[in-house]
Structure 1
Amino acid sequence: MDNYTFRPWREGDDLELLQLWGDAESSGYDSFRAMFRPDQDSGPWSRTLVAEHQGVAVAAATVYETSLHVQRLWAYIEVAVDHRRQGLGAELFRRLQELASSSPSGVQVLRSKVQEGSAGASFAQAMGLGVIQRSQMVKVASGSVPEVPLRVDSSGQPMQVIENIATGSVELTQKMWEFYSRSHRWDPPAEISLGQVNRLFLSDEAEALGAIVLRDFDSSDDFSGKPPIKAFVVSYRPLEQELPGRQLADDEATEILLGYDFDDVGAREAIMQLLYVLVHQYPVILEVDESMEDLQVMINQLVKMGSAQVLDTTLVVAH
């Protein structure tokens, strides 16, 4: 490492490095790049290193805490293509481990995200990081989901209903947190308030655009006299929609989060009922973790039918 010098991140490094790196390989890497910043001791704690070669920044690495998942620290390393396979990434990883030993929480275990089959995945394996979760971004084509009718009773009265719901709803926020907590048992989230849950997943800040729920009259009434939510969908605003007068093209997909009750024996039916309504006119994109067993089973069937397409696969890796 005699050819490299290491220093903390400083303002302006992003512009210099982006000229060398070019576009990120995935949107997930863009999110990590946003965490390159001057060192912070709170809100949350983070450390970022820059590697220079002959006075030019060629790589950066960051380690930081989050308030939602507190059992591990996030870490990310990016090295310019011309400087890979020379031990620079391994040296940055070693230095991140040293920095992690000073985290205020006392947590020192690192985690990261990599694209399956990528150079990053090979590097993570070489550093001793194993896969703890696999996640896929999937596009479901418009008009591709077979109809699963809402159930009615013997007299033809509806036993299920799909309705719009405010993203500020306490009921929806509770269901969101139940789903998130169950789908992240492999990396348990910290206990946070419903207000924080809403801000993270359902607020304008989170770019939540709207929500629909499936209610089931067969289930016991447990919230303010309404049939309980069986499953829900939250849609998120694509960046392009920020433009005045912007409307979705016929083949442009809206990003959604589809949640359901993990203990409901009818979860798969509810998933398909909501998907049918959602893709009747426009395609959607959703993230499916291996931990979301019922959703994964139904999406896999749509992929086999040619109705859905896996856009990419992300691995969460950790010690």
Structure 2
Amino acid sequence: MSFSHDGATRAEEVSCLTLESGLTVRPWEDGDDLALLEVWGDPDNAMHHQDRSLLRPSSDKPWSRTVVAEDHGVPVAAATLLRSSLHPDRLSFYAEVAPEHRRRGVAVELLNLLQSEAENCQVQSLKARCASRTAAQCFLKDNGFHKIQASRRVVVRPGALPMPDLETDQLDLEDIATGSVELSSLVTEFYNTIHTWDRSEMTVGKAQQLLLAPETGASGAVVLRDRAPGAKDRILAFAVSYTPERSEDPADVLLGWNPALEDDEAEAASQILLALLSARYPVTVEVDDAMAPLKRVTSRLIDEGQADSDFEAMIYARDF
């Protein structure tokens, strides 16, 4: 049964589909986001808000299928499968069910329904993310998903790291335009390097669009340059801020390094740049397990009580 919008007959056929839970299923329609918000309530956090944005009308370019489950005409649940142009090897799965309809197998039924539709798609692997130690994590484990990555947001306190001596170390902290080709190229290479676990096809254009454009919230960037003789002023590490003004609230920062560095060099460069960024104000960085050099720095700070992990997310995958 297809959920693409190719005529009234198909739409009527889908709207008559009844799940074993007693709910009826139909394709996503305009206004469903607001109707579901009334029964779901506000999102719990930024990740939850972002995942809800995956719910959108079905499409073939990019490939996506989204369905809504109704109870006597009232939307109470929704689920989607979506193929990303950035991470093309797995379909992203997201489902949410109103509290009073949970533990009735609704999410499983929606998953199976969408997976049968995905047989027409070239990709035959799924991924989904969830907050750590939640019912969603139990759902994924119970339905054959296995963990492939973990990520956490780390808040680094002001002055948590000793200030480096840039002159002695022959280093320089330099402001750089977020539209810089040099920065965009480095961000692209860094992103692809740390996503070998979920192959990415980041390009300079996509980096500009998804990570560095003003529309993303990117408000500024700095780079740590190596000024030693023979280093050719190469960039060792970079940071992009998504917080327009510094304050007592932590600034959201994307921190990365030159993938050409050795592991210990990347760790040292990350620590120096993080020390400079958090010298006077708190900084929040998102750290995946794949970002080993930065993870070691932030893990030490957490152990020393100089940083806090305020949110942890897990990514799970399953083949058909």
User: Is the structural similarity TM-score above 0.5?
Assistant: yes
- The 1-side partners of 2:257 and 2:115 are apart by 38
Residue in structure 1 matched with residue 179 of structure 2 by the alignment:
168
Q: Relative to 1, partners in 2 of residues 1:315 and 1:66: Cα closer, same or farther, differing over 3 Å?
A: same
Residue in structure 2 matched with residue 155 of structure 1 by the alignment:
none
One-letter amino acid of the structure 1 residue matched with residue 205 of structure 2: G
Alignment of 1:206-217 (within 5 A): 206-217=216-227
Shift of 1:99: 2.0
One-letter amino acid of the structure 2 residue matched with residue 129 of structure 1: F
- The RMSD of aligned alpha carbons is 1.6
Alignment of 1:155-234 (within 5 A): 159-190=170-201, 192-218=202-228, 220-221=230-231, 226-234=232-240
Mark the runs of 5 or more structure 1 residues left unpaired by the alignment: 153-157, 242-246
Alignment of 1:22-101 (within 5 A): 22-42=41-61, 44-101=62-119
Residue in structure 1 matched with residue 297 of structure 2 by the alignment:
298
- The 2-side partners of 1:201 and 1:56 are apart by 37
Residue in structure 2 matched with residue 136 of structure 1 by the alignment:
152
Residue in structure 1 matched with residue 314 of structure 2 by the alignment:
315
1:257 aligns with 2:254: yes
Shift of 1:307: 1.0
Alignment of 1:249-288 (within 5 A): 249-250=247-248, 252-262=249-259, 263-264=261-262, 265-288=264-287
2:194–2:290 contact (8 Å) kept in structure 1: yes
1:148–1:269 contact (8 Å) kept in structure 2: no
* Offset from partner CA, 1:27-73 (integer Å, 9 cap, x none): 1121121121221221x221110111122111000111111000001
One-letter amino acid of the structure 2 residue matched with residue 299 of structure 1: T
1:3–1:54 contact (8 Å) kept in structure 2: no
Shift of 1:2: 5.0
Q: Relative to 1, partners in 2 of residues 1:199 and 1:10: Cα closer, same or farther, differing over 3 Å?
A: same
Alignment of 1:97-116 (within 5 A): 97-103=115-121, 106-116=122-132
- The 2-side partners of 1:78 and 1:286 are apart by 27
Q: Relative to 1, partners in 2 of residues 1:219 and 1:317: Cα closer, same or farther, differing over 3 Å?
A: farther
- Greater alpha carbon shift after TM alignment, 280-289 vs 195-204: 195-204
Residue in structure 2 matched with residue 8 of structure 1 by the alignment:
27
* Offset from partner CA, 1:65-121 (integer Å, 9 cap, x none): 111000001110001111111111110110121122223xx1121111111101110
One-letter amino acid of the structure 1 residue matched with residue 37 of structure 2: L
Q: Secondary structure at the match of 1:164?
A: strand
Residue in structure 2 matched with residue 244 of structure 1 by the alignment:
none
Shift of 1:181: 1.1
Residue in structure 1 matched with residue 14 of structure 2 by the alignment:
none
1:139–1:308 contact (8 Å) kept in structure 2: yes
1:140–1:279 contact (8 Å) kept in structure 2: yes
Mark the runs of 5 or more structure 2 residues left unpaired by the alignment: 1-19
- The 2-side partners of 1:235 and 1:220 are apart by 30
1:149–1:273 contact (8 Å) kept in structure 2: no
- The 1-side partners of 2:276 and 2:107 are apart by 47
TM-score, with normalisation over the residues of structure 2? 0.88
TM-score, with normalisation over the residues of structure 1? 0.89
Structure with more of its chain in helix, by fraction: 2
2:21–2:105 contact (8 Å) kept in structure 1: no
- The 2-side partners of 1:76 and 1:193 are apart by 26
- The 2-side partners of 1:129 and 1:187 are apart by 15
State the percentage of identical aligned residues: 39
2:132–2:312 contact (8 Å) kept in structure 1: yes
Runs of at least 4 residues off by over 3 Å: 218-221
One-letter amino acid of the structure 2 residue matched with residue 127 of structure 1: N
1:219–1:228 contact (8 Å) kept in structure 2: no
